[in-house]
Amino acid sequence: MASLGSVEWRAICDKFTNARNLTDVESRNDPENDPFRSKYKARELLREIYCSLKSFEAGECEEESEGESGEQRPTEPFVDGQRDDLFVQGFSGDSPAGLRAAKLGAVEYYLGVNHVDTEELSAGQEHLMNCLKQLEKCKVSSENVSLFIHVRNQLGILWAGRDETETAQGFLETAESIYQLYMKEDGSPPTDMTEYFTTKEKLLTHQERTKRFEFAYTHTMYYLAQVYKNLGDTERAATYCHSTLQRQLQSNQFNPMEWALNAASLSQYYITKGRYMEGRHCLSAALVVSGLAGEVPSEAAAQESETESERREKLRQERAEISRCWIKYCLNLLQDAKKLLEDNTGELDTDRQEELKRVRKREEEEEEKGRKSALLFGSEDTFDSIASLEEKVSCLFPLDFSEARAIFLVGQNHVKEAKEYFQMDGYVTDHVEILQDHSALFRNLAFFEEDLERRCKMHKRRIDMLEPICNDLNAQYYLLIRRQMMFELAETYSEMMDLKMTRSNRQADTESLDNHTIKKINHLCSSSAKYFQMFLDSLCSPEGKFPEHLEEEVLRPALVARFRVARLYSKLICSLPSVHLDNLNKSLENYKYVAKYCEAHPEAVAAVETELELSKEMVGLLPLKINRLKARMAANN
Amino acid sequence: TAFNISDSNSIKVFVRVRPLTHSTGLTTDGDQNLCLTVTSPNTIRLLSKPEPRIFTYDHVADMDTSQDSVFSSVAKNIVESCMNVVFTLFIYCSGKTFTMLGPSDLDNFTDELRGVIPRSFEYLFFLINREVERSGQSKSFLCKCSFIEIYNEQIYDLLDTASASLFLRENIKKGVFVEGAVEKFVNSAAEAYQVLSMGWRNRRVASTSMNRESSRSHAVFSMTLESKESINEVVNIRMSQLNLVDLAGSERQKDTHTEGSRLKEASSINRSLMCLGQVIMALVDVSNGKNRHICYRDSKLTFLLRDSLGGNAKTYIIANVHPGSKCFGETLSTLHFAQRAKLIKNKAVINEDTQGNVR
């Protein structure tokens, strides 16, 4: 600082500290009718600093002769490409000219942020671009690399706010590549921008420098995640979310609860993409990290103090949320396996099962080598715990009952955990959703069960958990959930009926059935029809009228329900001809409805193709059957 | 021009162009350049560049529309059907106080300019009394009001300013409710209006003393109607509800609800990247039929009014716009909001167990 006396320099440093204090601390207490008071004060100080720097050091660097009158005409929108000349051209960062440029750039940077904060975007942009121009004179080095990144982060935010996502992307990607190159070429802890305006005795430690620098880059990752999301590039967005989380974990800069919830959310992304290994990894990491938030305060402690009670509530909720993500993991894994293994009647395809087992064996041998290439979470402290947790659950498709059961049990355990927090009293919707998942876990497990009687019992469990609640829920406030439940109950009863029929080992001749079985089958059959009918009734207007036009989201379910009701009525076993006739007529009426509706609404045909075809067929056949029955009844009379 | 309420889409959008009534202080600030024209009872033409744009709604009221006709074309239907179902009226944006309450927003019960709400109360109690009379006293009504404010995802009770922030809970019979919110019984329109005015006044006090900006808070006034009818010893109880929602203004809600590509910044909240969760949330799509759980909840307002968005409820949105060209930006965003609002729907996906559907 040859031309700046230490007194003047100290004054600049004080001004800078003051400006930062005004921006970060004071501004929070600004009155509503003068919201930017402190920021305007800070701006004045920054301007003074800028002028001092300019005038004191003007003579220092004779290389510079270009007009710096401060009146640069607005240039064309500068698009930041990923430029590799940043490391080779310009002043070296520790030369006087390089340092001067960096300092001026830093003041421009702070002025830019200040203007953006006070909603003067284009002035802000100009200052930030001036900062870039100053930096263009310099090579990237440990003296200025932090500023290189920070200014691009800000420009990224600015342009994204104007809906110019690609421009934002350019700045942020350049920031990313500058960081990577710097770490490769140099990597020493870089100077923080605040250090430009501090006296020697206040310089930061290497550790603190590294921390701040890495944090700025974590922000770059975080902004890029958002940019890619906005651009619709979900895969990259997810990767950047992943990196952001991993960087937070490594640098120990995170709130455990928040981190765990984010990781658990990310697992849901992987699940929807069918990537179970990654999903499991996120979930295991979420569990381990949520443990870092400490023990859940006891109920007694919560009653003692309000902070403890709040903490208890939050921790319990967070853990229940993570459990719910686990439930979905188990559920989807079972469901996808089922899809792989089922034949066209929905039963286990044993040939396919054998083949998949062989494939898996082969892959397992190969995977020993390649597996660890995926993105992984972990810091020194957490890595082993995450890995050991992962080992407890498989991420491969279960191929037989015992494998499916292992996954089911993990899911069921999490159902229990989640229900402890999301109790019916207070969390109706959440509680019911968990029950629905539990039921779906059973449904998928049943697929793998070979013993029909045991399979039936699993479906009975589903009914037992859903039926009482479906009947208790307020029909007005929980209409949508009840619709789902009614449909599911109807299907479950129907499934049980089919199982009972198969087990009695007869489809066609009803005569051979004993009374008890007939009673049982009829009960299941009419229960199923009852719930399908309840579902259909829920679509009616308050005056009880069935809609003439079915809305898109209920179109298929409504027509399917009609079709299934028709089928159920024709399956009811009864010895009394008049009742039988009644049932057949009801059946016909419902088949007719499906056919007629599709005739009147051709757009519905695509949604129910198979059902429609069968309905039409039945509309042709049933009258014959009805007439025969009538004839027989007449003859008997 | 009243529109049919039993239409299949349960959300109706009504746009009102703010009137230029000088005496009420609602002027265009001396700006005579208008940025929009009402071209038909349901279209607005906005003079945007390079080309004017046409927006279509269920109904558009121009500057000359009287308070009475706003009431009869919107609120009358609402009140009639709120005797049966859950009904929600959202009011949004500039001039909303005028539309809702009237020129001086307190106790002005006879004024020609009184707003939609006092008129609704009068009409509702007129209907109630008629019902009671017709039934020969066998039917009775119980009417309860609550008034809450949602600011920064915290819930405050406007009828009990001393209470701390409240929580949303659910009950298998009652649905979603604010736990611990004060409920006042009312017997007449005047009493109901008194409750509303009291809450309204408290809201102002809170906004100045506790640094809450009312332009960034939502206020929800709920009136629960319980009708009891005894026919042949059988008591029939029916519940219905009317929600009046004053939505946060668009002017300063940069960081909430606005769709688009603005990045969530992290610098101010040093360690918190809560928003990362929101990013991930957007990546997890449902379209492929996968079952997933989202850890981050809906906003308090959406959760509270969940029953209003779909199912068997009815919802109206009155969006107010300022015709002056100075307000172009705000007007455009309000018109966009109103258009998007029509698409909001609470859907229930029926998860079919496809196996064995056709056998």
pLDDT band at A267 (very low <50, low <70, confident <90, very high): very high
Distance from CA of A387 to the nearest CA of B (A): 23
Query: Angle A552-571/A577-600 helices, nearest 10 degrees?
Result: 160
Question: What mean pLDDT comes out for the span A120-125?
Answer: 92
Query: Would you state the pLDDT for residue B161?
Result: 85
Contact B174 A474 (CB under 8 A): yes
Does residue A584 register a pLDDT over 80? yes
Distance from CA of A267 to the nearest CA of B (A): 9
How far from the centroid of its chain's Cα atoms is residue B271's Cα? 35
Taking alpha carbons only, the member of A404, A329, A60, A192 closest to residue B284 is A329
Query: Chain-wide mean pLDDT for chain A?
Result: 88
**Best residue in A114, A215, A272 for a mutation probing chain B (most B CBs within 10 Å):** A272
Residue type for position B50: P
- DSSP 8-state symbol, B24: G
By Cβ distance, the residue of B6, B262, B358 closest to A610 is B358
Residues of A whose CB is below 8 A from B358: 610-611, 614
User: With contact defined as beta carbons under 8 Å apart, do A249 and A379 qualify?
Assistant: yes
Closest Cα in chain B to A153: B265
Q: Prior bond to A623 cis, omega within 30?
A: no
Contact B293 A478 (CB under 8 A): no
Distance CA B265, CA A554 (A): 41
Contact A335 B291 (CB under 8 A): yes
Does residue A283 register a pLDDT over 90? yes
In CATH terms, the fold of domain A7-61+85-253 is 1.25.40
Residues of B whose CB is below 8 A from A258: 272-274, 277
User: With contact defined as beta carbons under 8 Å apart, do A214 and A247 qualify?
Assistant: yes
Number of Cβ pairs < 8 A linking chain A and chain B: 199
User: With contact defined as beta carbons under 8 Å apart, do A587 and A526 qualify?
Assistant: no
DSSP SS3 for A441: helix
Distance CA B290, CA B297 (A): 19
Query: Would you state the pLDDT for residue A427?
Result: 94
B258 sits in which H/E element: none
Distance CA A450, CA A496 (A): 14
Which residue carries 């506790």 as its tokens?
Answer: B210
Query: Would you state the pLDDT for residue A3?
Result: 54
Closest Cα in chain A to B252: A119
Contact A480 B346 (CB under 8 A): yes
Distance from CA of B348 to the nearest CA of A (A): 5
Query: Would you state the pLDDT for residue A370?
Result: 53
Closest Cα in chain A to B289: A272
Residues A322-377: tens digit of each pLDDT: 999 999 999 999 999 999 999 888 889 999 999 999 998 888 777 655 554 556 78
A9 sits in which H/E element: helix A6-24
User: With contact defined as beta carbons under 8 Å apart, do A213 and A190 qualify?
Assistant: yes
| SS3 sequence of A444-513 | HHHHHCCCHHHHHHHHHHHHHHHHHHHHHCCCCCCHHHHHHHHHHHHHHHHHHHHHHHHHCCCCCCHHHC
How far from the centroid of its chain's Cα atoms is residue A235's Cα? 12
Distance CA A273, CA A372 (A): 19
By Cβ distance, the residue of B84, B285, B356 closest to A495 is B356
Instruction: Give A542-574 as a DSSP string.
Output: TT-PPPSS--HHHHHHHHHHHHHHHHHHHH---
- DSSP 8-state symbol, B308: G
By Cβ distance, the residue of A264, A325, A476 closest to B86 is A476
Query: Would you state the pLDDT for residue B75?
Result: 75
Contact B174 A346 (CB under 8 A): no
Contact A258 B274 (CB under 8 A): yes
Distance CA A621, CA B227 (A): 50
Contact A425 B355 (CB under 8 A): no
Pick from A410-419, A539-548, B331-340 the range whose average pLDDT is largest. Answer: A410-419
Closest Cα in chain B to A564: B357
Residues of A whose CB is below 8 A from B295: 261, 264-265, 321-322, 324-325
B212 sits in which H/E element: none
The C-alpha R_g of chain A, in whole angstroms, comes to 35
Token readout for A405 is 């059961």
Looking at per-residue pLDDT, the higher value among B308 and A439 belongs to: A439
By Cβ distance, the residue of A229, A331, A425 closest to B291 is A331
Q: Which residues share a beta bridge with B240?
A: B225
Which residue carries 């930017």 as its tokens?
Answer: A36
Residues B302-315: tens digit of each pLDDT: 788 777 665 667 77
Neighbours of A269 (CB within 10 A): 25
By Cβ distance, the residue of B239, B294, B351 closest to A484 is B351
Distance from CA of B45 to the nearest CA of A (A): 25
Which residue carries 């089928």 as its tokens?
Answer: A567
Output the CA–CA distances (angstroms, integers) from residue B173 to A204, A465, B197, B345, in the order listed.
61, 18, 30, 23
User: With contact defined as beta carbons under 8 Å apart, do B282 and A229 qualify?
Assistant: yes
Token readout for A293 is 């938030």
Contact B280 A610 (CB under 8 A): no
User: With contact defined as beta carbons under 8 Å apart, do B340 and A596 qualify?
Assistant: no
**Interface predicted TM-score (ipTM) over 0.95:** no
Q: In chain A, where are the structural domains located?
A: 7-61+85-253, 256-296+309-349+371-445, 451-542, 558-637
Does residue B348 register a pLDDT over 70? no
Does residue B27 register a pLDDT over 50? no
pLDDT band at A88 (very low <50, low <70, confident <90, very high): confident
- Lowest-confidence range among A123-137, A235-249, A389-403, B224-238? B224-238
Distance CA A329, CA A395 (A): 9
B103 sits in which H/E element: none
Q: Which residues share a beta bridge with B43?
A: B40, B56
User: With contact defined as beta carbons under 8 Å apart, do A633 and A577 qualify?
Assistant: yes
Contact A479 B260 (CB under 8 A): no
Closest Cα in chain B to A262: B277
Query: Would you state the pLDDT for residue B259?
Result: 47
**Best residue in A429, A477, A500 for a mutation probing chain B (most B CBs within 10 Å):** A477
CA-CA-CA-CA torsion for A239, A242, A244, A247, nearest 10 degrees?
Answer: -120
Contact A327 B293 (CB under 8 A): yes
Contact B263 A342 (CB under 8 A): no
Distance from CA of A430 to the nearest CA of B (A): 10
Query: Would you state the pLDDT for residue A472?
Result: 94
Burial class (CB in 10 A: 0-12, 13-18, 19+), A582: middle
Taking alpha carbons only, the member of A331, A340, A568 closest to residue A443 is A331
Distance from CA of A461 to the nearest CA of B (A): 17
Distance from CA of B280 to the nearest CA of A (A): 6
CA-CA-CA-CA torsion for B268, B272, B277, B278, nearest 10 degrees?
Answer: -20
Residues of B whose CB is below 8 A from A495: 353, 356
Query: Would you state the pLDDT for residue A60?
Result: 52
Contact B263 A157 (CB under 8 A): yes
Query: Would you state the pLDDT for residue B273?
Result: 61
Distance CA A148, CA B205 (A): 47
Query: Would you state the pLDDT for residue B64?
Result: 82
A159-175 b/e (C-beta count within 10 Å ≥ 16 → b): bbbeeebebbbbbbbbb
Query: Would you state the pLDDT for residue B113?
Result: 73
**Best residue in B83, B283, B309, B352 for a mutation probing chain A (most A CBs within 10 Å):** B283
Residues of chain A above pLDDT 70, percent: 92
Question: What mean pLDDT comes out for the span A120-128?
Answer: 93
Residue type for position A486: M
Question: What mean pLDDT comes out for the span A497-501?
Answer: 91
Contact B280 A551 (CB under 8 A): no
Distance from CA of A159 to the nearest CA of B (A): 8
Token readout for B282 is 């957007």
DSSP SS3 for B83: coil
Residues of A whose CB is below 8 A from B165: none
pLDDT band at A278 (very low <50, low <70, confident <90, very high): very high
DSSP SS3 for B41: coil
Output the CA–CA distances (angstroms, integers) from residue A149 to A142, A159, A190, A253, B15, in the order listed.
12, 16, 11, 19, 46
By Cβ distance, the residue of A223, A269, A611 closest to B263 is A223
Contact B359 A498 (CB under 8 A): yes
Closest Cα in chain B to A156: B263
Looking at per-residue pLDDT, the higher value among A69 and A401 belongs to: A401
Q: Which residues share a beta bridge with B246?
A: B91, B219
Residues B105-146: tens digit of each pLDDT: 555 556 677 777 888 888 889 988 888 888 887 888 899 999
Contact A219 B266 (CB under 8 A): yes
Distance from CA of A57 to the nearest CA of B (A): 32
- DSSP 8-state symbol, B267: S
Question: What mean pLDDT comes out for the span B12-23?
Answer: 70
Closest Cα in chain B to A154: B265
Distance from CA of B198 to the nearest CA of A (A): 24
User: With contact defined as beta carbons under 8 Å apart, do A552 and A606 qualify?
Assistant: no
pLDDT band at B322 (very low <50, low <70, confident <90, very high): confident
Distance CA A604, CA A608 (A): 7
Taking alpha carbons only, the member of A575, A441, A583 closest to residue A513 is A575
Residues of B whose CB is below 8 A from A264: 295
Token readout for A402 is 């015992």
Residues A194-213: tens digit of each pLDDT: 999 988 878 899 999 999 99
Burial class (CB in 10 A: 0-12, 13-18, 19+), A69: exposed
Give the sign of the dihedral formed by CA B178, CA B182, CA B184, CA B185: positive
Distance from CA of A287 to the nearest CA of B (A): 14
Residues of A whose CB is below 8 A from B356: 345-346, 494-495, 498
Distance from CA of A245 to the nearest CA of B (A): 9
